[in-house]
Amino acid sequence: MELYQKPAYELSDMLKKKECSALELTESVFKRIDTVEDKVDAYLTVCKEQALQKAKAVDEAIASGKTLHQLAGIPIGIKDNISTKGIRTTCASKMLENYVPPFDAAVMNKINSADMIITGKLNMDEFAMGSSTENSHYKTTKNPHDLSRVPGGSSGGSAAAVAACEAIIALGSDTGGSIRQPAAYCGVVGLKPTYGSVSRYGLVAFASSLDQIGPIGRNVKDVAMLQSLICGHDKMDATSKNIQYPNYSDNLKSNLLGLKIGIPKEYFGDGIEPAVKQAVMNAVKEMESNGAIVKEITLPSTDFALNSYYILSSAEASSNLARFDGVKYGYRTAEYDSLTDMYEKTRSEGFGDEVKRRIMLGTFVLSSGYYDAYYKKAKLLQRKISQEFSTAFADVDVIATPTVPSPAFKIGENIGDPLKMYATDICTVTINIAGLPAISIPCGMDNNMPVGMQLIGNKFDEQTLLNAAFGYEQLIGGFNQMPKII
Ligand code: GLN
């Protein structure tokens, strides 16, 4: 087995025992990038020189006997909406084509102080709006399991890079499913943490009340390790929760005995492909026969979730994206004859169609004539959806659902039909609306494409969620489906 194929937790041990060097590991990952990147198109910026230099520094630190973080020397890819000091951060938009942040996001400070090795910046849907990476201004990432299919989105570059072993682990962001949906499509593990557990400082905002940064890896333990590193209170983010966060990976338990799993019937309805339902139910049954207790539950407002999500997220996006006006930073149109003309041309030329659609929708639902009819109703539904989850969690420890209604679709299949594209988010958006943590793990294959199971946890109870996911992973002997890219 090549180094680039190994899990982070095993590589961490190997580095400590000097069975491999950080330089060998980093070179192995870049060799993989050189071999498959022209097929997968996961990266927008590759940071080879910096990565090799950092790897040498980590090796020197190891040689000098310094005690390092357990993720030291592990190559990580970063979604391109997370600010990286001195490294271009485009959000896959023409608007930020040449933008190099003068500061690091809070999560990057943690990654750098843990001495992780940044491989580069990963492709995404423009400003994280989309479900396929087809909204990237630069290129569409391909699903490593079938290059004619999408990797999902918006963190499609992150999920594809991890699945294709072009990174050992990655960071994504999730506003309505953007970590979990691509993780499901690419057959990897993606965690959307509880709102407020990971600092958003330096994450380019899409919908601030829904956005969360989270890890994508090839196994639950790697994801738990990275989550333990990036979570925690940050005074730079007013919504960051100041509580004690456990070390999730040190406390991982695979015992499923007595774990109460809720099955909400609303997530297994007509829109969900039978093979997907079957794969998720088989996984749940497997957990049940190993000691878990399965209960049917109901989350009646699920039907309204997509409408609420697209109203709330677009409203916030329309406000957040007002800053891209050609004045302060980013793209500015070449020729204009007044300030208003400059704004109009800059924004017309700098944003792609989907971003403009969201800005228009958001401005509309916030306008004085329609605020009550749309935005206010969506806010009321948000409270109802959250209450239904709270009621459910009085009875169960985790909730199991499909992550996405069907496996990855073909490139081009949904791009002309926004509503069809939005419908793929039906199982994931409720979790952001309620601020809960949720993880997508592989639970089978349908026509040679991965199927994901979503486990939803109670607020700030990532430990129970990760334990449940780890329990299932151990039961089935690990997630081992390597994609067939080459
Ligand atoms: N697909 C959803 C959207 O387009 C979710 C995006 C996200 O989570 N960033 O809004």
Is the entire prediction scored with pTM above 0.95? yes
pLDDT at 47 over 70: yes
Closest residue to atom 4 of ligand 1, CA basis: 130
4-18 pLDDT, tens digit each: 999 999 999 999 999
Percent of the chain having pLDDT more than 90?
A: 98
| Residue 127 pLDDT exceeds 90 | yes
Q: Return the ligand 1 atom nearest residue 313 CA.
A: 10
pLDDT at 484 over 90: no
Return mean pLDDT, the chain. 97
Q: Which of the four pLDDT bands, split at 50, 70 and 90, describes residue 476?
A: very high
pLDDT tens, residue by residue, 398-442: 999 999 999 999 999 999 999 999 999 999 999 999 999 999 999
Instruction: Considering only residues 482 and 334, tell me which one the structure prediction assigns the higher pLDDT.
Output: 334
Regarding the beta carbon of 311 and ligand 1, being less than 6 Å apart is answered: no
The residues annotated as belonging to the active site are 79, 154, 178
- Whether the CB of 425 sits within 6 Å of ligand 1: yes
Q: Is 107 helix (H, G, I), strand (E, B) or coil?
A: helix
Across 367-394, average pLDDT: 96
Q: Ligand 1 in contact with 403 (CB < 6 A)?
A: no
pLDDT at 411: 98
* Residue 48, CA distances (Å) to 26, 40, 76, 118, 419 in order: 9, 18, 12, 9, 39
52 CA distance to ligand 1 middle (Å): 33
Q: How far is ligand 1, taken at its centre, from the CA of residue 323, in Å?
A: 20
Name the band, by pLDDT with cuts 50, 70 and 90, for residue 376.
Answer: very high
User: Rounded to an integer, what distance in angstroms lies between the CA atom of residue 160 and that of residue 144?
Assistant: 6
| Contact 156 CB / ligand 1 (< 6 Å) | no
Distance of CA 229 to the CA centre of its chain: 16
Which residue's entry shows tokens 């878990």?
Answer: 292
103 CA to centre of ligand 1 in angstroms:
25
CA atoms within 13 A on the CB side of 387: 8
Is any ligand 1 atom within 6 A of the Cβ of residue 177?
A: yes
- pLDDT (average), residues 332-350: 98
Cβ of residue 206 lying under 6 Å from some atom of ligand 1:
yes
Tokens 């026969």 map to which residue? Answer: 289
Summarised one tens digit per residue, pLDDT across range 151-181 is 999 999 999 999 999 999 999 999 999 999 9
Strands 212-217 and 75-79: unpaired
**486 pLDDT band (50/70/90 cuts)?**
low
pLDDT higher at 270 or 468: 468
Q: Which pLDDT tens digit goes with each residue over 144-157?
A: 999 999 999 999 99
What is the average pLDDT across 312-319? 98
Which of 122, 123, 154 is the pocket-test mutation for ligand 1 (most atoms within 8 Å of CB)? 154
pLDDT of residue 485: 73
Residue 215 sits at the vertex; the CA angle it makes with 460 and 170, to the nearest 5 degrees, is 170
